[in-house]
Amino acid sequence: MNKKEMYRYLDEISDVLTEASDKIWDYAETAFEEFKSVALLKDIMKRYCFRVEEKSGGIDTAFCAAKGESGPVVGILAEYDALSGLSQKAGASERSEAAPGGNGHGCGHNIFAGGSIGAAIAVAKYMEANSLPGVVKLFGCPGEEGGSGKAFMAREGVFKGLDVSFAWHPMSVNAILDMSALANYQVLYKFKGIASHAAAAPHRGRSALDAVELMNVGVNFLREHVIQEARIHYAITNSGGFSPNVVQPLAEVLYLIRAPKTPQVDEIYKRINKIAQGAAMMTETELEIQFVKACANIVPNKTLSKVMHDNLIEQDLPKYSPEELEFAAKIAGTVLPSESDLLRFMPFNASDARKCAKLLEGKSMCDIVLPFFENAPDALLPASSDVGDVSWNVPTAQVVTSCYAMGTPEHSWQLVSQGRTSLAHKGMMLAAKVMAGTAVDVMEKPDVIKRASDELASRLNGDSYRCAIPLDVKPRPISRL
Ligand SMILES: [Zn+2]
């Protein structure tokens, strides 16, 4: 079997991947509760004769499916969790909830799963057909959104023994994601006060909601005095009930603290803790700080990214029908105008950026591959991914493919709507081929593994992976925060 034949094989099994992706879209299960999605994926991997390890790293909705014996060990990462509150009808070009208040695949992790299992199955087929020694491992990674499932898995050593790993992400352009991303901590601050009649006995109450508000004000003043790249967000997850005539006895706020490196996140976290303690003192409430999760920054790997880019440019890119382009244009008309987020952060110089923008001008779907700059300094994507924790342990490369109309924001109803359409399916197949092609290249060229691993060692410069999540912290579904 040659690589072209492997891609044809992927086309032959595209129904299996599309169906899996669509079903996971329908299930729309959020972090660490992806039970139906995981059952479906494990079932498919077993059907293709993979050995399935259940509950990898002790997490109920994680798994690892492996095929092959000795030789290079290649990991392929799959995600499958949805986001809360983003329920949306598939294929609609206007906001229309499918289930009121329900969840939705606002980050396209349903296609992520379909593309990744496809890549693993194709690599196994190629290995078998060519008697190529090696092991391919498909990692079922739960709870990427707000859960950092891979960080918990990495803490338990799940990714040990891999030579390289690959991942992808659905997006609105075709490119290699040769970039770093922000490390983060997610922390829940719980305040406990004293309930009382807000009019008759306000002096006998101590308001937990006041504490949350004062904490947030304090942190909003802190923003001026942290490094430029830091990002701090919060959601009030418990405002103390719906009764303004009660002094709220309990209130909670969930913080997400991001910065380029974990020690920088840690420094800001400690300052935020002081603000929370101050708010508790001001209001005479009790404070409890619960660490929820963390993820590491991504360590890019140019050696692997280059091999992946070579595999991306040798693919026939998807062609779109007039109906598909019309739908994409309608979707594009519903989002606020902006350059593609990825374009903004690619390591372009100004003239390359202008050239790319020109090439994409007026297109509703991206049908080109963005250039790869081998010698450019690392770019930083102002987002986070728990792929970061994998990338500290093993050389990792990621591809993004065009699955959505240009300019579609992540975590939006527009993205959910497109995630169960032929646009997404086409991008998924492209990603599966690029990952499979890259994986077999690496398995056949041990020098690439050596160079990629030397690059990782040199980037870490003597540092090594330490999971930032304390050992006693377990993965928590968002419904149980
Ligand atoms: Zn995502």
For 386, other C-beta atoms within 10 Å of its C-beta total: 28
**Ligand 1 centroid, distance to 431 Cα (angstroms):** 14
pLDDT computed for residue 336 by the predictor: 78
**Ligand 1 centroid, distance to 150 Cα (angstroms):** 13
For 332, other C-beta atoms within 10 Å of its C-beta total: 20
Asked if residue 264 belongs to a domain, the reply is yes
Q: Which two tokens mark 180? A: 């770093």
**Ligand 1 centroid, distance to 169 Cα (angstroms):** 7
Asked if residue 466 belongs to a domain, the reply is no
Q: Tell me the whole-structure pTM to 2 decimals.
A: 0.94
**Ligand 1 centroid, distance to 210 Cα (angstroms):** 34
Asked if residue 419 belongs to a domain, the reply is yes
**Ligand 1 centroid, distance to 279 Cα (angstroms):** 34
**Ligand 1 centroid, distance to 404 Cα (angstroms):** 14
First vs last Cα of the chain: how many Å apart? 50
pLDDT computed for residue 166 by the predictor: 98
- Choosing from 248, 277, 294, the residue where a domain stops is 294
- Using alpha carbons, select from 178, 134, 210, 188 the residue that is nearest to residue 449: 134
Same-domain status, 153 and 188 = no
Same-domain status, 313 and 240 = no
**Ligand 1 centroid, distance to 407 Cα (angstroms):** 16
How do residues 266-284 score in pLDDT, each as one tens digit?
A: 999 999 999 999 999 999 9
Same-domain status, 230 and 360 = no
pLDDT computed for residue 377 by the predictor: 82
Same-domain status, 156 and 15 = yes
Strand order in the sheet with 51-54: 51-54, 63-68, 135-141, 73-79, 164-171, 396-402, 175-176
- Using alpha carbons, select from 289, 67, 57, 21 the residue that is nearest to residue 170: 21
**Ligand 1 centroid, distance to 74 Cα (angstroms):** 22
- Choosing from 294, 309, 339, the residue where a domain stops is 294
Supply the CATH number for residue 108's domain: 3.40.630.10
- Choosing from 241, 264, 294, the residue where a domain stops is 294
Q: Max Cα separation, the chain?
A: 82
pLDDT band at residue 378 using 50, 70 and 90 as cut-offs: confident
**Ligand 1 centroid, distance to 43 Cα (angstroms):** 23
**Ligand 1 centroid, distance to 92 Cα (angstroms):** 21
Same-domain status, 161 and 76 = yes
Same-domain status, 289 and 306 = no
Report the chain's mean pLDDT, rounded to a whole number: 95
Asked if residue 467 belongs to a domain, the reply is no
**Ligand 1 centroid, distance to 173 Cα (angstroms):** 15
pLDDT band at residue 481 using 50, 70 and 90 as cut-offs: confident
Same-domain status, 197 and 331 = no
pLDDT computed for residue 374 by the predictor: 82
Q: Who's near 462: CB < 8 A, 6+ residues apart?
A: none
Asked if residue 469 belongs to a domain, the reply is no
How do residues 387-443 score in pLDDT, each as one tens digit?
A: 999 999 999 999 999 999 998 999 999 999 999 999 999 999 999 999 999 999 999
pLDDT computed for residue 162 by the predictor: 98
* Paired sense of beta strands 396-402 and 164-171, if any: parallel
**Ligand 1 centroid, distance to 109 Cα (angstroms):** 6
Same-domain status, 100 and 176 = yes
Asked if residue 391 belongs to a domain, the reply is yes
Domain containing residue 91? 3-181+297-460
Percent of the chain with pLDDT over 70: 98
- The answer on pLDDT for 95 being more than 80 is yes
How do residues 195-217 score in pLDDT, each as one tens digit?
A: 999 999 999 999 999 999 999 99
> What average pLDDT does this structure show over 83-88?
94
- Using alpha carbons, select from 388, 398, 397 the residue that is nearest to residue 184: 388
Supply the CATH number for residue 242's domain: 3.30.70.360
Same-domain status, 281 and 405 = no
Do residues 24 and 105 make contact, with C-beta atoms less than 8 angstroms apart?
Answer: yes
Asked if residue 477 belongs to a domain, the reply is no
pLDDT band at residue 340 using 50, 70 and 90 as cut-offs: low
- The answer on pLDDT for 34 being more than 90 is yes
Cα–Cα distance for residue pair 268/228, rounded to 1 Å: 12
pLDDT computed for residue 354 by the predictor: 78
**Ligand 1 centroid, distance to 97 Cα (angstroms):** 21
pLDDT computed for residue 341 by the predictor: 63
How do residues 207-245 score in pLDDT, each as one tens digit?
A: 999 999 999 999 999 999 999 999 999 999 999 999 999
**Ligand 1 centroid, distance to 184 Cα (angstroms):** 15
How do residues 7-21 score in pLDDT, each as one tens digit?
A: 999 999 999 999 999
Structural domains in the chain (count): 2
**Ligand 1 centroid, distance to 172 Cα (angstroms):** 13
**Ligand 1 centroid, distance to 128 Cα (angstroms):** 32
- Using alpha carbons, select from 359, 329, 327, 324 the residue that is nearest to residue 343: 359
- The answer on pLDDT for 345 being more than 90 is no
Asked if residue 420 belongs to a domain, the reply is yes
pLDDT computed for residue 339 by the predictor: 64
How do residues 287-302 score in pLDDT, each as one tens digit?
A: 999 999 999 999 999 9
Same-domain status, 222 and 326 = no
**Ligand 1 centroid, distance to 394 Cα (angstroms):** 20
- The answer on pLDDT for 473 being more than 80 is yes
Same-domain status, 33 and 166 = yes
Per-residue HEC secondary structure of 99-151 comes to CCCCCECCCCHHHHHHHHHHHHHHHHHHHHHCCCCCEEEEEEECCCCCCCHHH
**Ligand 1 centroid, distance to 439 Cα (angstroms):** 22
Same-domain status, 166 and 192 = no
**Ligand 1 centroid, distance to 188 Cα (angstroms):** 22
